[in-house]
Amino acid sequence: MSAVPKPLLSLRQWRVAFGANEVVHGIDLDVAAGERLALVGESGSGKTVTALGVLRLLGSARLSGHCWFDGEDLLQASEARMQQVRGQHIAMVFQEPMTALNPLFTIGDQLAEVFLLKMALSRQDAWHRCAEMLRQTGLTPVDRFMGSYPHQLSGGQRQRAMIAMALACKPKLLLADEPTTALDVSMRDKFWICSTPCKEKLARPF
């Protein structure tokens, strides 16, 4: 009998609190490699906070419980280790494309930074990878979008740029916080991102 594979991500009694207010109350969930898990809940129920907590992007929030990723408890990891994990091993498509991008830098510069910092590519190689990612997400002609600033793009185009950044390092785990909200209805199926083949689960942990 073959052994049951360990989950890629496992949360146990995962809690998030801001001051005295606990907003996520003891979640238990597992996500295996190649599996897609949907968290379902009303607005304000803690879906986004749960995802941001996994990446420890909640500032002064108090996190407790266990967050096992690929055998490592991220709650015990140093900030330097989390810098390595974010983007390279776990990536996130953020909910709000209108504010998630830096307005002072072009799309090309922001996407290239991922390859420069996380993969230590040369500037030329990073630029080639940027062009490849933009083509994959339908942002063509590539030269136009590489040189565009966020305010020059529509909401759907910004969303695609964020998807390109999240997928740039081929992370093991992708946290997608309403990743197709700004996309046209006709484009949403094309950008329904998951590993294939995959299993689907629906959870209401909130």
The domain in which residue 136 lies consists of 9-203
Does a structural domain hold residue 1?
Answer: no
What tens digit of pLDDT does each residue of 131-161 get?
Answer: 999 998 889 999 999 999 999 998 888 888 9
Residue 27 lies in a domain: yes
- What sections of the chain are H helices per DSSP? 47-54, 79-85, 97-100, 107-118, 123-136, 142-146, 155-167, 185-188
**DSSP 8-state assignment for residue 6:** P
Is the per-residue pLDDT at 195 higher than 60?
no
Within-domain flag for 124: yes
Q: What is the mean pLDDT of the chain?
A: 84
* Residue 3 belongs to some domain of the structure: no
**Which residues, including other chains, have CB under 8 Å from residue 67's CB and lie 6 or more apart?**
9, 10, 11, 14, 53, 54, 73, 74, 75
Give the model confidence (pLDDT) of 72-110 as tens digits: 999 999 999 999 999 899 999 887 777 788 999 999 999
Model pLDDT, residue 175: 93
Q: Provide the domain count of the chain.
A: 1
Q: What is the pLDDT of residue 184?
A: 58
Q: In this model, does residue 177 exceed pLDDT 90?
A: no
Residue 80 sits in a domain whose CATH number is 3.40.50.300
What pLDDT is attached to residue 94? 86
